[in-house]
Amino acid sequence: MGMTVSLFCKSANSIKPIKDTAVFINIFDGKTFNGWKADTSVWHIENKCFVGEVTPSKQIQTNSFLIYTKSQAGDFEFKAQFIISKGGNSGVNYRSEEIASIPYALKGYQADIDGENVYTGQNYEERGRGFLAMRGQNATINNSKDPFIIKPIANSDSLKSKIKVDDWNEIYLIVKGNNMKHFINGVLMSETTDKDSLHKKLSGLIGLQVHVSKEMKVAYKNIQIKITKR
């Protein structure tokens, strides 16, 4: 699929709120699934990377998440490096909850990532309200009956040019109160302020997605989080 993970990967059960860490801490040891759970027929560890993969002979019926199990995050900053195959679809879920009837499924906010970079950087609510803020948008959500208030950040195509293809990118999230900012390679891609009292979430699980696909591969490394005080 035009992606050789081994060339790049050379670095680093009760659910409780994460305490204020003040600094970034590593939440992946690069060797084991300690602190994480996943369908290991979909996810494996290769050269200090989490790698999620779907092949023609190894299909999935629902989106499958690698879920961080040690704690839940409310206000936080998150960063990781990722590389994804051209046809791949992934993302970082946060403030999410598990779906009891579906193994390794999450519902919640998602910083979207795809190999074609059509959606990379947007805010999408998995199994929820769908598209919240597209790349290039600053969206304010009042309630489910009102239209979103959209202000431009920048042109979506100009932001797309900041995202590398067939190479490593850095995703960086700043999540505080009801405000969520998604950055790729240090550039703000989307911002969402969720004022919907019925649907907004202020804490929850973090997870990495492999989307239902004919064939795809995604890798994540250097996964870090910093818990901030509200």
Helical ranges in 87-224 per DSSP H:
156-160
Q: For residue 167, give both structure tokens.
A: 């190479």
Cα dihedral 158, 160, 163, 165 sign: negative
* Termini Cα distance of the chain: 42
**Three-class secondary structure of residue 7 per DSSP:** helix
Which pLDDT belongs to residue 1? 58
pLDDT digits (tens, 9 = 90+) for 13-59: 334 444 555 799 999 999 999 999 999 999 999 999 999 999 999 99
Whether this prediction's pTM lies above 0.85 is answered by: yes
- Which residues, in sequence order, are bridge partners of residue 96? 205
Instruction: Please check the confidence at residue 230 and state whether its pLDDT lies above 90.
Output: no
- pLDDT tier, 8 (very low <50, low <70, confident <90, very high otherwise): very low
Which pLDDT belongs to residue 71? 85
Q: For residue 72, give both structure tokens.
A: 């839940």
pLDDT digits (tens, 9 = 90+) for 138-176: 999 998 778 899 999 999 999 999 999 999 999 999 999
- Looking up tokens 């994480």 gives 36
pLDDT digits (tens, 9 = 90+) for 67-116: 999 989 999 999 999 999 999 999 999 999 999 999 999 999 999 999 99
**Three-class secondary structure of residue 110 per DSSP:** strand
